[in-house]
Amino acid sequence: MAFVQRTMGYLDVYNRTELYLVNDDSGKRTAKTLKENNKDCIDRSSLYRGFKDINEWIVSGGPKII
């Protein structure tokens, strides 16, 4: 969490910060902390729900458009 604390000050200069964190408890806690401290943070992990992280999702073929 020390890294997250140091990161927070840098995020304030952006209008929007999209979070593509690992889909585990640690990633969820980190996203929650960042969102609580910066209203412009958006958790995008739902895009790759069911996968460990965005890289695993991309390697698997990314979005499935039907």
Structure tokens at 8: 């927070």
Per-residue pLDDT band at 66 (split at 50, 70, 90): very low
Q: What share of the chain is helix, strand, coil (3-state, %, to 5)?
A: 50, 10, 40
- The span from the CA of 63 to the CA of 54, in Å, is 11
- The pTM assigned to this predicted structure is 0.83
Domain boundaries, the chain: 2-59
- The span from the CA of 31 to the CA of 2, in Å, is 14
Q: Using an 8 Å Cβ cutoff, are 45 and 19 in contact? A: yes
Q: Per residue in 29-55, pLDDT tens?
A: 999 999 999 999 999 999 999 999 999
Q: Using an 8 Å Cβ cutoff, are 22 and 53 in contact? A: yes
